[in-house]
Amino acid sequence: MPVYQAPIEDTLFILHDVLNIEKYGKIPAFSEATPDLIKAVLEEGAKLCEEVLQPLNQVGDREGCTRLDDGNVTTPTGFKDAYKAFSEGGWGGLSVDEEHGGQGLPHFLAAIFNEFVVSANMSFGMYPGLTRGAMAAIIKHGTDEQKVTYLPKMVTGEWSGTMNLTEPHCGTDLGLLRTKAIPQEDSSYKISGTKIFISAGEHDLTDNIIHLVLARIEGAPEGMKGISLFIVPRNKIDADGVPGENNGVSCGSLEEKMGIHGNSTCVMNYDDATGFLIGAENKGMRAMFTMMNEARLGVGIQGLGIAEVAYQNAADYARDRLQGRALTGAKEPEKAADPIIVHPDVRRMLMNMKSFNEGARAFVAWTAINGDIAERSEDEAERQKADDLLALLTPVIKGVLTDTGFQTAVNAQQVYGGHGYIAEWGMEQFVRDARIAMIYEGANGVQALDLVGRKLAANGGRSLMAYFGELDALIGANKDDEKIGEIVAGLKKGRDDLEAATGWFMQNAMTNPDNAGAGSTDYMHLMGLVALGHMWVMMAKAAEDKLSEGGGNEEFLKNKLITARYFMERVMPETGAHLARISNGSETMMALDAEAF
Amino acid sequence: MPVYQAPIEDTLFILHDVLNIEKYGKIPAFSEATPDLIKAVLEEGAKLCEEVLQPLNQVGDREGCTRLDDGNVTTPTGFKDAYKAFSEGGWGGLSVDEEHGGQGLPHFLAAIFNEFVVSANMSFGMYPGLTRGAMAAIIKHGTDEQKVTYLPKMVTGEWSGTMNLTEPHCGTDLGLLRTKAIPQEDSSYKISGTKIFISAGEHDLTDNIIHLVLARIEGAPEGMKGISLFIVPRNKIDADGVPGENNGVSCGSLEEKMGIHGNSTCVMNYDDATGFLIGAENKGMRAMFTMMNEARLGVGIQGLGIAEVAYQNAADYARDRLQGRALTGAKEPEKAADPIIVHPDVRRMLMNMKSFNEGARAFVAWTAINGDIAERSEDEAERQKADDLLALLTPVIKGVLTDTGFQTAVNAQQVYGGHGYIAEWGMEQFVRDARIAMIYEGANGVQALDLVGRKLAANGGRSLMAYFGELDALIGANKDDEKIGEIVAGLKKGRDDLEAATGWFMQNAMTNPDNAGAGSTDYMHLMGLVALGHMWVMMAKAAEDKLSEGGGNEEFLKNKLITARYFMERVMPETGAHLARISNGSETMMALDAEAF
């Protein structure tokens, strides 16, 4: 059975030594997050994840969810108790403002805790995760009455939330959706239609489920411009806020899927269900994007979370499994064979995992902190810049961390040899679970197009310029450093490839937008490598500084420097291949007739 | 439900126009394989695969195999009838010599047919596939009596075969194995021990199962040098060749695994089972390698087979699914949306798949033909060279075709968006099934080490020199061709990177073998890209020649040229990244303590 230990030391290093969160003390939420409090929260969260959630991960996979004949859905053994522990610990409201019943801590802390939850039990984590997204939309777009009605119960976990976007004939292209909303005299709407792939759509963990549903108001314009967002509680709520009879909302069936069996993926039927408009009429896409951006960061974290737990187990296995001898001669001659961690190719896999995970952890924290600044800073310029960086890098977090997270899980499975393919060892579950993250909340190709087609050019390229500004300041300040200069040079090369790729788009995508589309996924991954490299330079610098000062865990810090060097030597060189592919444009790619495939 | 159509036109183009099999007419098996016969065999084989095997693929995945209380194992619904059809069609003995009851056709034809079988139903194909490997060992190492006893029934499919290598504590490092063989007075042995991961170890398709079992004769030397290979029939065979009582062979349990559910993966118990030595005492590893090399080519073909069927379905879906509009403006304005095949990023995935599949198909055929020549040519020099190329490229076929085949299945699943994650669409099964091919018959890291640590240096590098000779002759003859010169230049770049990587190993691996291990997987993939590029130049040349002559299917040939160009523009650039990683050596990779992971 897989094991898991939350990476607290690494997280604290990132927060305090690398990202220096103390410097944001003037932002309200941050001032409460003292180093002691952060440490206590992480340790308490780690305990819940390691002791309560992780032991249920394989159970959830094996049992899955069950739809009963009456349409109710039961979750796997133990999920109800775990959910109770999660809710009672206040984990659902960690970064929700106190006025709504939350703890008002910074979002970055919730993001970090989320990594632990995913590592321990991704399917479980999706239940509160979806609630978080729904709350974010209500907080941003709901009326005061809606906030009072829904948020307090959602923060405590008594009620959960969902996002209802996809229909059988439309996923990415929501303009095609058909679920309809008929206005009623009391200003509510009657919602009817079928939604598919609704995660946590029905389950037995909460008294009520608050569905956020995209639908088209009768007579609304066609396409994206005629879509509105509605709050549709599964059970009608009376004047005292108590859930009563069913509101015409039912789970038609559960999807049989590759993984995340512990989470219920539902076909949801809405049958004259009473819904309440949230945000403006026909502006549903805007409100929905609030959920989506929150969710995309969350899905990127899923890539990291699975990669981390898969890595930890692969490392354990590589230390334990005796097979063959080191190429340079027996390392443990007294044993029948050496542990496989002596083999360079096993090391290669482990170092790829380690350098990705630690880089991604820092990248998530850095991005989440920008989210906090964008929402909560009182300095307009600081807020603007953070918001620009957040917008630019959200698709990169989602696309790159899930692609590479999946690849990392596959590599971790590979370390196990044949045992990796066998269910009881748990590694193949990580691969199956990780796979969905590349698809939902906008398939990764859609993330790439969002990045290249929208984010690069937005506001005259302001986001990208801000990002290059960050990179160049860091590179400029450290490129001649005799200790980390070589590491900085690796980032510089990646940054230059990113600049060249951007320039190529500027020259070639205006005349033919397919040239942007053709290079979009390569560009997203190129930027992902630069973003991780950016983190590795910051981590190397922090480690070197701390070593010079003689403080901290010396071995930990030296290992950071080695891993930073590994990343530049072995991972970053991929940027050149991305640039070469991008620069070849779309002509050959688009040349075949559709029927020729 | 997925569909499948065997790629007959593409295969015939490869055999006749690209590889010119007619020129081998003086080799006995080839002279019988006239163009008409080849076409008839492929068409008949395609029919079996499309109509009988493919419809059972999802059934096999859903039902899996069942071990009954008495230890017998039942295969999924329909497998028995399909196996009967397969056997009665003579498909199990396609390339087995006529003296053993086979049809005596070239091995390349069996390899091609095998691709079709895997595409249709990989789990099913493993039953006769394992028999093929066992037959190969008996043909090469068995006594005349053993040949007469086993081969005729195995060729007809009445009996099947297996390979029993792995034990719970040893897979890659077979030197550790413990299954013991005690010599008996009648020159047989009593075999006792437990083997795991035995594909097709027990099932209800045949009257007997002929297990080839690695074991250690009492008193034999430790390690690899004390291992012998035994024939252990499940049921004892009487003097008339009729199977009787059980021979102390039983299936202890079936493994619960990620995929290939239609094939029974068994824990096999041998309890004083009567076994017969095959080959010399303590030379079991040599005899086993006969099976392994055959099997490694077969597993490489599994990578291609799954990639092909996954691609075909993704292409269909991309043509059918309406979602969004082309970046360059609506392509089918009369519809609610354009088919997603208009999107460059969907094209990118499809072109990656197509260029891999067609290149890999040619590579498999080319390698299999070398196998035929190595075995059957009467020209010593020709035989030697073919054997050298086969030895060099077998690990590349196995490692690269399964890694990239898996990646291709993942990409094909991605084209489906959310539906790709849902079982009923069948795409996630392809991913789960393809995953095992990277692991079994020697995990891909072991293939890479075989290539770099053994094959490169064997016979003073004769194999590699022969391979560069092939490449350079092709490049030299076509580099100035105005039609395909650019395509040739792509191969030249890859070839130069391969040469540089080889040179780096020569300079750095003698002093530190870890430098070879550290670069082995990158080197294997580098060579794989060159090998596929080699095929693409040959295919481009054949297409161009045929177009100039005005013969053939003009659209098909033009599409070949476009796909060749795509491969060079978009896939081949990866060689530079591989070279960069290789050239960074092992130092950083090996620097961390094992406990630091």
The average pLDDT across B143-172 equals 96
Per the CB < 8 A criterion, the answer to whether A59 and A78 are in contact is yes
Question: For residue B471, which amino acid is it?
Answer: L
ipTM over 0.85: yes
pLDDT at B291: 79
Spatial separation of the C-alpha atoms in residues A136 and B243, rounded to whole Å: 70
Share of chain A above pLDDT 90, in %: 96
CA distance to partner chain B, nearest, from residue A136 (Å): 24
Quick check: A319 and B347 CB within 8 A? no
Contacts of B566 in chain A (CB under 8 A): 588-589
The average pLDDT across B98-111 equals 96
The average pLDDT across A44-69 equals 98
Confidence band (pLDDT; 50, 70, 90) for A488?
A: very high
Per the CB < 8 A criterion, the answer to whether A110 and A93 are in contact is no
Spatial separation of the C-alpha atoms in residues A435 and A437, rounded to whole Å: 6
Q: What is the 3-state secondary structure of A268-334? A: EEEEEEEEEEECCCCCHHHHHHHHHHHHHHHHHHHHHHHHHHHHHHHHHHHHHCECCCCCCCCCCCC
Contacts of A584 in chain B (CB under 8 A): 569-570
Contacts of B313 in chain A (CB under 8 A): none
Going by C-alpha positions, the residue among B174, B184, B198, B187 that lies closest to residue B249 is B198
pLDDT at A282: 97
Question: For residue A155, which amino acid is it?
Answer: V
The average pLDDT across B314-329 equals 96
Q: Above 90 in pLDDT, residue A537?
A: yes
pLDDT at A225: 94
Quick check: A589 and B344 CB within 8 A? yes
**Phi-psi category of residue A461: left, alpha or beta, with phi > 0 → left and psi -120 to 50 → alpha:** left
Facing A577 at nearest CB: one of B448, B521, B577:
B577
Quick check: A421 and B413 CB within 8 A? no
Confidence band (pLDDT; 50, 70, 90) for B139?
A: very high
Quick check: B570 and A590 CB within 8 A? no
Spatial separation of the C-alpha atoms in residues B53 and B82, rounded to whole Å: 7
Quick check: B324 and A173 CB within 8 A? yes
Contacts of A581 in chain B (CB under 8 A): 569-570, 573
CA distance to partner chain A, nearest, from residue B198 (Å): 11
Give, for B235, the enclosing helix (H) or strand (E): strand B235-237
Per the CB < 8 A criterion, the answer to whether A474 and A498 are in contact is no
Per the CB < 8 A criterion, the answer to whether B138 and B328 are in contact is no
Share of chain B above pLDDT 70, in %: 100
The whole-chain average pLDDT of chain B stands at 97
Quick check: B435 and A424 CB within 8 A? no
Per the CB < 8 A criterion, the answer to whether A297 and A398 are in contact is yes
pLDDT tens column, A322-331: 999 999 999 9
User: Right CATH number for B160-282 from 3.30.70.1050, 1.10.1040.10, 2.40.110.20, 3.40.47.40?
Assistant: 2.40.110.20
Contacts of B258 in chain A (CB under 8 A): 421-423, 428, 431-432
User: Which active-site residues of B does the annotation give?
Assistant: 441
CATH class of A8-144: mainly alpha
A554 part of the active site: no
pLDDT tens column, B578-595: 999 999 999 999 999 999
Q: Where are the alpha helices (H) located in B5-92, listed in sequence order?
A: 8-12, 28-32, 35-47, 57-63, 79-88
Sequence-separated (6 or more) residues with CB below 8 Å from residue B510: none
pLDDT tens column, B236-257: 999 999 999 999 999 999 999 9
**Phi-psi category of residue A483: left, alpha or beta, with phi > 0 → left and psi -120 to 50 → alpha:** alpha
Q: What is the 3-state secondary structure of B252-271? A: EEECCECCCCCCCEEEEEEE
Quick check: A438 and B414 CB within 8 A? yes
Per the CB < 8 A criterion, the answer to whether A445 and A520 are in contact is yes
CB count within 10 Å of CB A480 equals 8
| Torsion sign (Cα): B431, B434, B440, B444 | negative
Residue B68 tokens read as 């009954």
Q: Could you check whether A8-144 and A160-282 share the same CATH topology?
A: no
pLDDT tens column, A407-437: 999 999 999 999 999 999 999 999 999 999 9
Q: Above 80 in pLDDT, residue B286?
A: yes
Quick check: B196 and A418 CB within 8 A? yes
CB pairs under 8 A between A and B: 255
Q: Above 80 in pLDDT, residue A290?
A: no
Q: Above 90 in pLDDT, residue A514?
A: yes
- The string of DSSP letters for B383-408 reads HHHHHHHHHHHHHHHHHHHHHHHHHH
Quick check: A323 and B173 CB within 8 A? yes
The average pLDDT across A59-83 equals 98
Contacts of A351 in chain B (CB under 8 A): 588-589, 592
Contacts of B562 in chain A (CB under 8 A): 588, 591-592
Q: What is the 3-state secondary structure of A481-513? A: CCCCHHHHHHHHHHHHHHHHHHHHHHHHCCCCC
With CA atoms as reference, the chain B residue closest to A224 would be B324
pLDDT at A28: 84
The average pLDDT across B329-353 equals 97
Sequence-separated (6 or more) residues with CB below 8 Å from residue B99: none
Going by C-alpha positions, the residue among B1, B4, B56 that lies closest to residue B309 is B4
Domains of chain A, residue spans: 8-144, 160-282, 444-589
The average pLDDT across A103-121 equals 97
Residue among A441, A470, A549, A569 flagged as catalytic: A441
CA distance to partner chain B, nearest, from residue A94 (Å): 30
pLDDT at B28: 84
Share of chain A above pLDDT 70, in %: 100
Quick check: A354 and B591 CB within 8 A? no
Q: Can you give the C-alpha Rg of chain B in angstroms? A: 24
Q: Above 80 in pLDDT, residue B412?
A: yes
pLDDT at A220: 97
Chain B interface mutation, best of A486, A553, A590, highest count of B Cβ atoms under 10 Å: A590
CA-based angle A442:B326:A580, to the nearest 5?
Answer: 75
Q: Above 80 in pLDDT, residue B63?
A: yes
Give, for B236, the enclosing helix (H) or strand (E): strand B235-237
Facing A517 at nearest CB: one of B343, B596, B597:
B343
The average pLDDT across A538-559 equals 96
Question: For residue B117, which amino acid is it?
Answer: V
Beta bridge partners of B552: none
CA distance to partner chain B, nearest, from residue A240 (Å): 39
pLDDT tens column, B77-86: 999 999 999 9
CB count within 10 Å of CB A509 equals 23
The average pLDDT across A52-71 equals 98
Overall size of chain A counted in residues: 597
Q: Above 90 in pLDDT, residue B551?
A: no
The average pLDDT across A199-217 equals 98
Spatial separation of the C-alpha atoms in residues B242 and A442, rounded to whole Å: 61
